[in-house]
Structure 1
């Protein structure tokens, strides 16, 4: 006897906080009749991702369901939480109805959705996953602050600040712009490094970008000693970085082409 086909698992990227940044494709998925799943840190707690959709004016379906993803570094607790979330997701998919998982920011960038899909596929390898891209927090932050992440031949990198100031210090010599995500635990250490590198004036702090509580701080030194929100990042530009020589034009291994030119 053939099994009924599974529903699709759709990751709907919602952007970092402003419902106007929800793409038309994600908006259509939310209204497609698929059942909504949304992440929470604790049972009965509010969901940041769900709040974005609610601010956009869409009513929450009665059968929308929360999946708990606790904020902990306890490997055992995390493994149990992921297993529960994935098992429940597969149970719902087996009903044949599509599921749309609400993702703040972009589903492919430091998002819960990527981990969820891996565990779901371990349980149900045949599941079809549809990932809808969206606006990342750092792209929205750059727009809100009128800063440019990279121009022409410039480079930029995106890293969690948790890698530590030694890594950040080294990368400042490798990239013109650094995006430091989740700076809350290391804010004072990062500020001390920026002061040492004389980069305070070319750095900007953004908290809850795109949400009603968005906060932009250009005078980042004023944040010393402050307890900032978990949903915060810092854009650090190093205009004094020494760049290496770039190879321009066509590769020498290719035959001459009329379409190749010089800068």
Structure 2
């Protein structure tokens, strides 16, 4: 028999998927239900996307858990972000030292562009850490589009809007399937690069996958040339595919 309850004194990185609460795995649900402490990143007002996704699992617990919100600065300043992770790691460590189980909720998968990675780096030498994988936004996007990410000998690469123009251009020229995550602020730049590499017709744009505000656009030529939401990505697939 598997024991799906969170173990005392263990730090868990738990993926809660791209947005639909029903895409949380059974294992993640049981770990969230049994943990002593539930931790997540939040904005300065205390709102957390990861917690919102996991609300059903948290709300259906028999007893309330201790909740620890780690406020993150809304900027690209890594110094400020690292300071927030340092503070968060110390708070998490203090609970683990008391023998409590701590779950960190992470959108998508904890180790795929996941904020959990930065906490794992700080805590793995001090405490036992375990990871519960989750469905990434890349998989969620493919399901929403009902399109395979790659077939047979097609090549596939995942990039980020934080990559340089040259890196994105090279990826679009060299690979059949390209996913560009964290597209928000980089959206105008990405649209220009898609046009330059003649891949605008191959591109799909998705935002808030699996959430009430979900947006799916298969003709990105109609997309406003302005910054978009943080939770958005481009999926670029060949129109003529191997069979």
TM norm structure 2: 0.88
Counterpart selection for 1:113 from 105, 113, 116 = 116
- Long gaps (5+) in structure 1: 242-263
Deviation at 1:202, TM superposition (A): 1.5
Q: Tell me the SS of whatever aligns to 1:17.
A: coil
Check if 1:51 corresponds to 2:49.
no
Q: Tell me the SS of whatever aligns to 1:9.
A: strand
- Comparing 98-107 with 161-170, greater Cα deviation is found at 161-170
Which residue does the alignment assign to 2:99?
Answer: 96
Preserved CA contact (<8 Å) 2:29 2:57: no
Deviation at 1:231, TM superposition (A): 0.6
**1:52-100, Cα deviation, whole Å (9 max, x unpaired):** 0125673473521211222323343223212111111100110101101
Which residue does the alignment assign to 2:158?
Answer: 158
Q: Tell me the SS of whatever aligns to 2:66.
A: coil
TM norm structure 1: 0.82
Q: Tell me the SS of whatever aligns to 2:135.
A: coil
Q: Tell me the SS of whatever aligns to 2:185.
A: helix
Which residue does the alignment assign to 2:128?
Answer: 128
**1:113-141, Cα deviation, whole Å (9 max, x unpaired):** 011111123xxx24111100010001100
Q: Tell me the SS of whatever aligns to 2:233.
A: strand
- Comparing 203-212 with 75-84, greater Cα deviation is found at 75-84
Q: Distance in 2 between matches of 1:58 and 1:6?
A: 21
- Long gaps (5+) in structure 2: 1-6
Q: Distance in 2 between matches of 1:33 and 1:83?
A: 22
Q: Which has the larger Rg?
A: 1
Preserved CA contact (<8 Å) 1:155 1:177: yes
Check if 1:170 corresponds to 2:170.
yes
Q: Tell me the SS of whatever aligns to 1:173.
A: helix
Which residue does the alignment assign to 1:192?
Answer: 192
Which residue does the alignment assign to 1:25?
Answer: 27
Question: How many residue pairs align between the two structures?
Answer: 234
